[in-house]
Amino acid sequence: MKNINPPTLNQEKNFENIIEAKVNLRKIRLKTLKNKVFNSYIDYYNKRKKLENIKKSEFQFNQKGKDLSHCYDSDSIALSNLKASIKQGFKTIGGSHCPYCLLPSPYTFDHYLPKKLFPEFSILPINLIPCCFECNNKRLEDWLNKNARTTINPYFDAISKERFLFASISLQKNVPQVTFVIKNSGKISKYLFQIIKDHFEKLNLINRYKDQVNTEISEINKRFLNPTFKKLSSQIPKLLLDEADSKRSIYGINYWKAAVYEALARFTGKFPFKI
């Protein structure tokens, strides 16, 4: 997980541009909703760090909600421009990985407050988060559990300053095994740490990292079996830690690959492995 900068687009102008592309009665109906939608945008921003306090939408499952959802569901030049602007801003901060899981590839948009439940936010830029298909599919409408959020908001939850993802290495029958652990150093609030733990469970992140880690370990191991590194065997731990720091500078302090590099650097057995 990594923080990303929220879009700074003009939210009201964006809404007006998209409803201008509508026709007939839908366009008329949407124009009558404009003030209510703009007020809801203000409420969203004011509660952006605790969106679980947003009140239930008055537009759920009615014609007004269908019209608002249609703003996102129906293609238009204005909607394409909105998506392109968000993606462009995301790319400028190293947006090759999904901010929810830090795996490739963030080719979809997730409505943090689900569009089905909050159609008034269907085209609100700060409610649209570039993410991978799997995270998007796992979130769906299930964003709350007993009035607590089940996933972090990469725009507004402060998750990039404190470490919470750690890894360790062990050998089982000469095969390296990686264990990932979520730990609170004490500097993360109980409120936010619970969301982080629920986020990992909701998006099945530990298992998804394990699916990738054998390939990663193999590639790292192959590099350090190179004769060049054999001459620098005493420096391997430092090289691994430097690589971990380099990856964290790009993908954030809790990048899973960085945790693996650090675990290898601190491994007390012999590395590279003879696999």
Torsional class of 118: left (φ above 0), alpha (ψ -120 to 50), beta (otherwise): beta
Q: Mean of the per-residue pLDDT values for the chain? A: 90
Residue 110 sits at φ, ψ, to 5 deg, of -100, 135
- What's the DSSP call for residue 270? -
Q: What is the pLDDT confidence band of residue 8, given thresholds at 50, 70 and 90?
A: confident
94 versus 15: which is more confidently predicted?
Answer: 15
| 159: pLDDT strictly greater than 80 | yes
Assess contact for 37 and 67: CB atoms under 8 A. Answer: no
Distance CA 12, CA 241 (A): 46
Q: What is the pLDDT confidence band of residue 94, given thresholds at 50, 70 and 90?
A: low
Are residues 140 and 186 both part of a single domain? Answer: no
Are residues 215 and 135 both part of a single domain? Answer: no
Distance CA 54, CA 45 (A): 10
Q: What domain range is 38 assigned to?
A: 11-144
- Amino acid at residue number 41: Y
In a domain, 150, yes or no: no
Max CA pair span of the chain: 75
Are residues 31 and 127 both part of a single domain? Answer: yes
Tokens of 134: 């799997």
Rounded average pLDDT over 19-27: 90
Q: How many residues does the chain have?
A: 275
Distance CA 38, CA 261 (A): 47
3-state secondary structure of 54: coil
Structure confidence by residue, pLDDT tens digits, 192-209: 999 999 999 999 999 999
Rounded average pLDDT over 220-225: 86
Are residues 65 and 119 both part of a single domain? Answer: yes
- What's the DSSP call for residue 5? P
Model confidence, pTM: 0.90
Specify the pLDDT at position 275.
62
